[in-house]
Structure 1
Amino acid sequence: MRVFTSPDQLEDAVGADLGASDWLPITQERIDRFADATDDHQWIHVDPERAKAGPFGAPIAHGYLTAALLPALMRQIYRVEARMAVNYGLNKLRFPAPVRVGSSVRAVVRLVEVTKVADAVQVVSTATVEIRGETKPAVVAEVVGRFYL
């Protein structure tokens, strides 16, 4: 894990690959809990029998479930010592490949931009969520965070 203690350290790391998180298994239980939390019970996610005959051959995770894992996965890769950190948003978000139940995913992060904003440092990074054994990623996102030092 990379730990940044100053804006200068962050600026020096722009363009650097910060690393990869651990692999995280995607279970049907996790998918079902996300469906319950978001009221998105589409059969491709929550009906294993029907999904087996569907276009992906198995239930798949919601794209937004995979994206929602980014903060937890990214915390394994780097940390900024700050009194507070907030997710500021996403500039870009794509779902190139489905995540089938039983797959494992991990995030790989590259630091793209660092900007001082009022009493915070805004960090833009590209996060790619890989699927173990697959060539296409599940998620590619430009993640924006603000760190209040």
Structure 2
Amino acid sequence: MLQAYINTPLGIAEINGDENGISSILAFDEGKTVSTTIPSELQDAVNQLQDYFDGKRKDFTFKMNPSGTEFQKKVWKGLLEIPFGKTLSYQEFSIRLGDVKAIRAVASANGRNPLWIVVPCHRVIGSDGSLTGYAGGLWRKKWLLDHENPVKQQSLF
């Protein structure tokens, strides 16, 4: 498994993968050193993540290869269908996946998403609009949703 660390506005991102695709992207506050060289198998993912943070990209096209159960992969595939700049509640998302009663299982699979940002689990929120649960920390979830929000709040002063 190849690995690279890059700087992002949300901390250090660890990108793991090989010729079969990217298997995980994780976020760290500290304790990781930014890579001086990027393996060619990871370069496309690195470039696309940098474009995302620069506001030049809304979706990702590099090959993904996350490990998970069939149910988790179904949830992660469903997350890819939530448009940039939009959110869904866990209940709405469960209904889209075909089972309103699966909210807890969907939330659990969402929380185990190994592809930070790329598979946009940050776009799933509480029914009341609250920023519930996010493995990377709620401050990162808020930042990502603000970054993707097409309507930017203007300052009066």
Question: Normalising by the residue count of structure 1, what TM-score does the alignment of the two structures yield?
Answer: 0.23
Structure whose alpha-carbon radius of gyration is higher: 1
Higher helix share: 2
Structure number with higher relative contact order (C-alpha < 8 Å, ≥ 6 residues apart): 1
TM-score of the superposed pair, with normalisation by structure 2: 0.22
